[in-house]
Structure 1
């Protein structure tokens, strides 16, 4: 049996092992990874460019789309370049500081993304339940402040989680069975006491997910109540159609995230490569799909994108 040095050691390098059991297929796996990343960058930068250029799109809803696009670009960029360097060049080393930095930005951007989805639900609630007061309740400045609050909340919750990781001792086993520094994957290789780390990360997970899902559920509960009061079927349909893009983004973002989180913590019987592929899936696929969903479902944005596309 391999024995590990149990003397706490400082820094040096962790080894990101990629996808164990599928090393021979790394080159092939890199094709969908790089394709998703390129589409993600093109689609999200298109949203940012079009909204930035068009004065008519300088509205709260499109400001929220820009926030969503920035978090999507950030999250996918946190993991994809390093994953591709593992697949293409077998560059598996990452310093401890690099690992902690990656963890910090992945989780801060994830929590900010969740906050943006909450603000979007509130935006849809105001648009449907208080349409005449929409312009006074939701100004661009107010949306900007709400986004900043979401970012500050994310930093305040995630920073202690990252600092708690730094205090852990890491011994001879520095191999992380992942393509990026995922919090629980790093905690698992520590040779020290990790109860505080596990408990704090679980509390953060519950605080962010439960509070955000509760607020989104409350918003949609009020929306449904308002829609049921409307007697016209056409008005009902129109009101619900304004929410479809947000609901689709919620499903694409939350479903793989919940699967990945639950399998990481409770899916001991699931193969390691399935854990890793799921963990990458929720950071790659939703950022690629979100701008496409809003581009298809939002007529104003679709028309403006079409205008710039035709100029090329």
Structure 2
């Protein structure tokens, strides 16, 4: 199994989706450098899928991006689940584990990532839960800025809230560039000013994805389409601001022929190489 320092991931990644398994297994070396998995989708999985995960993990380092921890929720953290995640991360020697700066549970699982109010109370609440999670995991956690459509109470703007959580929790940021763009259109702010406001030392990875143009003033984060030129431009700006970071191309459904995903991965690598040469 790989022993991988986080900096070794600082290139190009793709999500390990079951619909892409055959393409990922057949891909030539150098097409992508790491794979990202949601641990809750793979913990305890055996059979052919479990064997495929093991085989791919022998060839590529893994990053993990969780879906169900509900860091901003009101119910107690699922300590048993966190302990299972720690075992998974240790087994596969995963250097980067991230979750969403949101909540997804109440009395039960809501199957959606819901936004937090941008308030001091919410900062303290979610930061305490992140610190508890980090203690159980035995490692730092990165939180991802999420897309949102209905804005709960906002005593501060999103970037101020995000920075406050990062500082109080002493955690890292997984910067989703597409979410920054989607939110900037839906809520009327400058995405480049958002990037300029993020504390640079906290960013340890990035996501880029496609979205759906519902209208000029409404964008839907889908992970089911190609990345748009305006988001590529914002990714280039993010590299200029934060340096080249491990960057994942998110594609969760509506998969094109694999060569189209490879072309997008090459775009990420081109932007990274350009920043390394000229940044």
Q: TM-score, normalised by structure 1?
A: 0.21
Structure with the bigger percentage of strand: 2
Q: TM-score, normalised by structure 2?
A: 0.23
Instruction: Name which one, 1 or 2, has greater alpha-carbon Rg.
Output: 1
Structure with the bigger percentage of helix: 1
